[in-house]
Amino acid sequence: MNPLFFVVLSYLLGAVPTSFWMGKAIYGVDLRHKGSGNLGATNTLRVMGWKAALPVVLVDVSKGFAPAWLFPRLEPAPWSWALAYGAAAILGHVFSVWVRFRGGKGVATSAGVFLGLAPWAVIAGITVWTVTVTVTRIVSLGSVLAALTIPLAVWFLPHEEGPSLMAFTLALAVFVIWSHRANLGRLLRGEEHRFGRGPGRHIVPPVEAGDR
């Protein structure tokens, strides 16, 4: 089967708007008009709580893992195609054809891609994310620092995939930082959203009781 078929399939799988469908079908909420307006796990948690956010995270991670790990095994192809499948899934999540090319910021789906390509780098990234969010309560800062950690992990830890994996991780780090540019602006102004405490706690408009 032509690898381009799997590129398209990876995009369509990544484009599945998990949080949007979860909000609409179960909670009667359109996440595009609630909280930050982002169709990702963080806004799902902010608006609908952890019971909604947990399955969203698991599905979004799977959307990246399947193209990067499973698809190359279904149809053997050069290593570069695994990178292409992962990139297509991430782009699908961020620019979903199902919701007028809106989506999340690609962090969970990117984590899934690297679980398939370089799981040891994901462990480093998740560790940095967990420590950062625990200390600061700022998810966006954790996501940006985790994205920067993965290329460092790929650089310092041994791997057999060659420079293409390093180039991919660097490109992905730049993409994640770009997708968080508004968050970084709020961080510099001391206005970024926080969970549970801190000056940013009440920045996000509350969700009306009837929307839960």
Question: How many whole angstroms separate alpha carbon 143 and alpha carbon 38?
Answer: 15
Q: Please give the pLDDT value at position 158.
A: 66
Picking from 115, 111, 75, the residue whose alpha carbon sits closest to that of residue 93 is: 111
Q: How far is CA 99 from CA 38, 88, 126, in A?
A: 12, 17, 29
- Residue 200's pLDDT band (cuts 50, 70, 90): very low
DSSP calls for 10-40: HHHHHT--HHHHHIIIII---GGGSTT---S
Question: How many whole angstroms separate alpha carbon 98 and alpha carbon 72?
Answer: 25
Q: Considering the chain, what percentage of its residues have pLDDT values greater than 90?
A: 55
Q: Please give the pLDDT value at position 196.
A: 60
pLDDT at 162 over 80: no
- Residue 159's pLDDT band (cuts 50, 70, 90): low
Question: How many whole angstroms separate alpha carbon 156 and alpha carbon 134?
Answer: 26
Using the Cα atoms of residue 93, residue 138, residue 178 and residue 100 in order, give the sign of their dihedral: positive
pLDDT at 195 over 60: yes
pLDDT at 21 over 90: yes
Q: How far is CA 76 from CA 62, 83, 105, 115, in A?
A: 20, 13, 30, 19
* Phi and psi, residue 174, nearest 5°: -60, -40
101: left (phi over 0), alpha (psi -120 to 50) or beta: left
Among 73-77, 144-148, 188-192, 199-203, top mean pLDDT goes to 144-148
Q: Please give the pLDDT value at position 161.
A: 66
